[in-house]
Amino acid sequence: MRVFFILLIGLTLPLTSALAGFHDKYFAHELDPAGLEFAKASSKEPEAGKLIISGQLDHDLSSTYFGVVNVVLENRSDQWIQVKDLSLSFPQAAQNKNISVVGGNMFKAWSVADQHRRDYNSKRNTLIAGLIGGALAASSKDDQKLRNLGAGLALGAVAVSATKGKNFKKLKATLPSTHLLSGDIVVPPGLFIKKWIVFNSKDHKKMGYVDVMSLNFKEGKKKVTTHLRLRKSGGATWQSDLPALERKGPSKYLH
């Protein structure tokens, strides 16, 4: 069984009073994601810091094998911030092995199939659907690149545990500029930006319920690892094939 996540980012917007609610439900913190302090802080906006990251699983845009996550990166300083060498990881080794980064034709196939689901349910967020559509249109320019990579890579899936290898570098060349891992992220002073990513996962029973994701990157010369809560326990959209009692992550503090 395979699952897709999407972290959506696309716009750079000014921090005006009209956009006071632009952040998502959970905030990224450098605390131990299995600890009580992280559980308490995950829903609280950081009191200090130049770069603020938030996100959450969007249940309206998710289904059993597909999960959509909105992520916001905000620059609260008067200096330009560049996020470099960004990589992602999950708390469990089985999750890093069984969750893949998706691009190329696999992303296109998901987009078409999920559009059919959206048409059927007709309950969608039009802004986010527009961002997905824009990314799909942009990726069509990379058709020749996909053909050059060969059939296997053209399907586009590289395990999270292998995102620094040669195969991922080739897949990266097919990703739209709005993709979270397409390259360095530049956030202008006093503005915020949104991005997206699609993950493909399998073997849910083995890897367990996913409720936390880690972002590893360089901010200037500083190496940062920050952890983002994705949802609360018991979510019944993405990974709904897991029994209800198993829909909770490894941390006993996240509920």
Condensed to tens digits (0 to 9), the pLDDT of residues 93-152 reads: 998 998 888 777 887 887 788 778 777 776 555 545 555 555 655 555 545 544 443 444
* Residue-level pLDDT at 93: 92
Query: Which residues of the chain register pLDDT less than 50?
Result: 9, 13, 15-20, 127, 142, 145-154
Q: Fill in the DSSP letter of residue 209.
A: -
Residue where the block lists tokens 């959509």: 68
215 CB-near residues (< 8 Å, 6+ apart): 28, 53, 86, 87, 88, 224, 225, 226, 227, 228
* Residue-level pLDDT at 154: 46
Q: Are 229 and 42 in contact (CB under 8 A)?
A: yes
23 CB-near residues (< 8 Å, 6+ apart): 45, 52, 54, 72, 74
C-alpha 126/C-alpha 242 separation (Å) is: 29
